[in-house]
Structures are given as C-alpha cells and as structure tokens.
Amino acid sequence: MKLVVVGFGQCGGRIADEFARLNRRARGQRGIDIIAGAFAVNTDVADLSGLTGIKPDYQHRILIGGRKTGGHGVGKINELGAEIAREDGDKVIETIRMSRRFAEADAFLLIAGAAGGTGSGSVPVITQHIKERYADKPVYNLIVLPFEHEESTEERTVYNVATCLKSSYLVADAVFLVDNQRYVMKDSPIRNNLAKINAAITEPFYNLLCAGEEKKPKYIGAKILDAGDIIQTVTGWTTIGYGKSKISRTKNFFKRTRDFRNKATETQKGSQTMDEAISGLSLKCNPIESKRALYLVSAPAKEVSVDLIKELGTYLKGLTPEAIIRSGDYPREGNSLEITVILSELNDVEKIRSYFTKTINLIATLKKRQEGIASKSQGIEVTLKDIPSLL
C-alpha cells in the first residue's frame, strides 16, 4: 500500500518526517516504495526548518497563513489554524497533486497533534477538501493525543483535542488514535524522547505497507494482505499495535526437527508476540469494542505454519468476538517474528469520551463565568453535537 503522507503543525510534520525516513528504509532494505509523497504543512517557519527527512523545497514543506501569522504559528488557537487552512487549502492540495508519484497512491494519511493550533485546526479542514476532490481514495487521519502533563496544565489543550477529534471523525474515513503517554520515557532527554516516540508511532506501519508492494517472489506471502484488505478494515476510530520476538534456532543434526516441543514453542512464541502487539496498541482500548480487525505475521517462511496462523486468528477472535478479521503473512529473512495488529471501528473509546466530557464541562463553566452565574453546572450528556466543530 502506498500513502501520500501530510503532516500538519509541529507534531504532524515530525511524524511525516519519520514516514519519509521509513520509505528510505524500505527502498534501501527491500527495494520498494511505500510513500508516494511526504509533505509538511505549517504556519511556523522554524518548525518546517527543523525537519530532516522531507525534502527542503517549498513543494514539500508548505508554509500557510504567512500573512496572518508572519511565519510564527497560531499560538494554540486551533480556530485560527482552521481558518488559515480554509483560505490556503487549494494551495496545499495543488502542491501535493503536482508531486511526481501522486497517481500511485492508494490513500492519504494526514497527521496532526490534537493539542496544538495549526495541526488540530487544519487537519480536518484539509481532509474535507481532499475528500471533495478525490472521492475514490480513502483519507485517513493519524491524531496524536497529548501527554498527561499537557492536559493537566492547560484547559486549552483539552478543548483543542476534543474539537479536533470531533471534526476529524466527521470527515475522515478512519482516525488512527495515538496516545503520547503510552510511549513516554520519563528519564530520557526530551529531544531523544520525542524522536523515539515518533519512530515508535511509525514502526507498526512498516511491514503493513511493505507486504502489498513486495516484488520478489520469495517474499510474497501465501495470503497477501494488500491495500484492498486494509481499506476494507480501517474505518472510524482505529488503533494499531506491533509486537516482535526473536526466534532462536540452534543447529543440531542429532535433534529430531519434528519434535512436538518445537511445535509447542512455535505457537507459544506467536501468542507472546500477539500479546505484545495488543498491549502495545497506540491507544488503550477494550478490544471487544472493535468491529473490524486485521493482523499481519512477518517471519522466515519456514516459521509461518498453518497452525501458527490458526492459533493467532483464534486468539484475536477471542479478544474481538464481533469483529470481521482479516489476516496475512509476509515471509522475510532473519531471526525475528513480527506481528502487526489493527483494531478498527471501535464503538466506544474511554479516552475520547473523557475529552468530550471535560470539554463540555469546560464550555459550561466558561458560559457561567461570562453570565455571572454562581450556581453549579448541571450534568450534560456526552454527544458529538455538544462539541464545537472546526468545519
């Protein structure tokens, strides 16, 4: 599967930068391209200057709202970010469309941090513009949720997250949710921490995108997980996870290779790797809430048996009893077993509900402050209609 990747704001731009590096890795290691174009869109010149993977020309690093912001950002006011995106949306889309390999793309992936101004404001607006222009290609959003300390120190952060999530959900074909807090390393320097987090966010996409683009016969799976399978699976609220374990194989010519112990170890290793993928999902959720799911197994061909695929499928079905599950294998050389899992069409996500509840309470509190009413706020039912839209 080939993606056009567009990052909005500082957070989105850096993750798009990581996707550009991921494509270079796929080209170097496997001789294939998985990104049809990587772009960064921002209102801040300094943020665009700090990227290293995306080409430095104005056709890949796109500055918007220069007249309104002077190239210094929108100061976390996502309504202003949305307004600028509406004004400069055609400029962004035309620049992306003119890229050399645009026609090869199977889908768009638009990335933003939900807590900021430029990213959270512009991503739903540009998503809507692209949907109107290119109805035949899915448009996915990857929305990064803030750290806990950001939520606790700024009311504006929670408001931005809720309005961004609502607006993206209304227009995107699917919203990949990523919780920064799940990747945080408390004792690591902030620069290294963020770089490692961004790498961890993009890593689960590597095998998933490569599998359907593979050209060498020996690396093509018995059951290919291609763009069509991904498109049919990914919809609504979505989370992605990745697990990896080492396969230890010692040569012993006196050992019987069909020993039952080897078979037990094989399936146990698969279950442990699936456990790691589920526990490492980009957002904590209850798997039982998902209506669609997929998993991809990548390992040396001799390690991917029918029993292993069956065991993993049974295990995932137990976690997601109502989900339609798709699966595939991707044989690779090496000594590791890697599993990528996607849970999609999640009915209820506690974290999102929490943002909506907090924002509704915040809006009610602000209204009462403005009206000078001292009485306690009444409970308000949490629904999408109660959250302001950026569209």
pLDDT tens, 91-145? 999 999 998 899 999 999 999 999 999 999 999 999 999 999 998 999 999 999 9
Residues 192 and 315 in one domain: no
Q: Taking the CB of residue 253, how many other CB atoms lie within 10 A of it? A: 5
Packing angle, helices 155-171 and 118-133, rounded to 10? 10
Q: Which of 172, 202, 232 is the last residue of a domain?
A: 202
Beta-carbon contacts of 112 under 8 Å, excluding residues fewer than 6 positions away, are 7, 8, 9, 11, 12, 119, 120, 122, 123, 141, 142, 143, 144, 164
% pLDDT > 70, the chain: 89
Residues 166 and 264 in one domain: no
Q: Does the pLDDT of residue 249 top 80, yes or no?
A: no
Q: Does the pLDDT of residue 222 top 50, yes or no?
A: yes
Task: State the pLDDT at residue 235.
Answer: 97
Task: State the pLDDT at residue 306.
Answer: 86
Confidence of residue 316 (pLDDT cuts 50, 70, 90): very high
Q: Does the pLDDT of residue 381 top 60, yes or no?
A: no
Q: Does the pLDDT of residue 38 top 50, yes or no?
A: yes
Instruction: Indicate if the alpha-carbon torsion angle 275, 277, 278, 279 is positive or negative.
Output: positive
Q: Which of the residue ranges 77-86, 192-201, 333-342 would you say has the lowest mean pLDDT?
A: 192-201
| Domain count of the fold of the chain | 3
Is the separation of the CB atoms in 282 and 182 below 8 Å? yes
Q: Which of 202, 228, 250 is the last residue of a domain?
A: 202
Give the pLDDT mean for 29-48.
95
Q: Is residue 213 in a domain? A: no
User: Half-sphere exposure of residue 91, counting CA atoms within 13 Å on the CB side?
Assistant: 16
Residues 148 and 183 in one domain: yes
What CATH number is associated with residue 333? 3.30.1330.20
Q: Which of the residue ranges 33-42, 110-119, 378-387 would you say has the lowest mean pLDDT?
A: 378-387
Residues 355 and 332 in one domain: no
Confidence of residue 156 (pLDDT cuts 50, 70, 90): confident
19 compared with 68, residue with greater pLDDT:
19
What CATH number is associated with residue 135? 3.40.50.1440
Q: Which of 202, 237, 255 is the last residue of a domain?
A: 202
Q: Is residue 75 in a domain? A: yes
Residues 372 and 294 in one domain: no
**Separation CA 373–CA 115 (nearest Å):** 29
Q: Which of 65-69, 308-312, 365-369 is predicted most confidently?
A: 308-312
Query: Across the strands, what pairs with 141?
Result: 110, 175
Q: Is residue 212 in a domain? A: no
Q: Which of the residue ranges 29-33, 170-174, 369-373 would you say has the lowest mean pLDDT?
A: 369-373
Residues 197 and 287 in one domain: no
Residues 19 and 158 in one domain: yes
Task: State the pLDDT at residue 187.
Answer: 52
Q: Does the pLDDT of residue 256 top 50, yes or no?
A: no
Residues 51 and 164 in one domain: yes
Q: Does the pLDDT of residue 186 top 60, yes or no?
A: no
Count of residues in the chain: 391
Q: Which of the residue ranges 150-164, 210-224, 264-278, 349-363 would you say has the lowest mean pLDDT?
A: 264-278
34 phi, psi to nearest 5 deg: -120, -10
Residues 174 and 134 in one domain: yes
Please name the residue that has the structure tokens 């146990």. Answer: 268
273 compared with 387, residue with greater pLDDT:
273
Q: Is residue 122 in a domain? A: yes
Residues 19 and 163 in one domain: yes
Residues 48 and 147 in one domain: yes
Residue 216, Cβ density class (10 Å: 0-12 exposed, 13-18 middle, ≥19 buried): exposed
DSSP code string of 54-100:
S-SSTTTEEE--HHHHTTB--TT-HHHHHHHHHHHHHHHHHHHHTST
Task: State the pLDDT at residue 371.
Answer: 66
Q: Does the pLDDT of residue 366 top 80, yes or no?
A: no
Q: Is residue 260 in a domain? A: yes
Q: Does the pLDDT of residue 376 top 50, yes or no?
A: no
Q: Is residue 391 in a domain? A: no
Task: State the pLDDT at residue 88.
Answer: 94
Q: Is residue 208 in a domain? A: no
Confidence of residue 303 (pLDDT cuts 50, 70, 90): confident
Q: In this structure, which amino acid lies at residue 264?
A: A
Residues 17 and 128 in one domain: yes
Q: Does the pLDDT of residue 254 top 60, yes or no?
A: no
Q: Taking the CB of residue 321, how many other CB atoms lie within 10 A of it? A: 9
Which domain covers residue 295, as residue numbers? 218-346
Query: Across the strands, what pairs with 62?
Result: 41
Residue 186, Cβ density class (10 Å: 0-12 exposed, 13-18 middle, ≥19 buried): exposed
Q: Is residue 301 in a domain? A: yes
Q: Which of the residue ranges 65-74, 325-334, 364-373 would you say has the lowest mean pLDDT?
A: 364-373
Task: State the pLDDT at residue 377.
Answer: 41
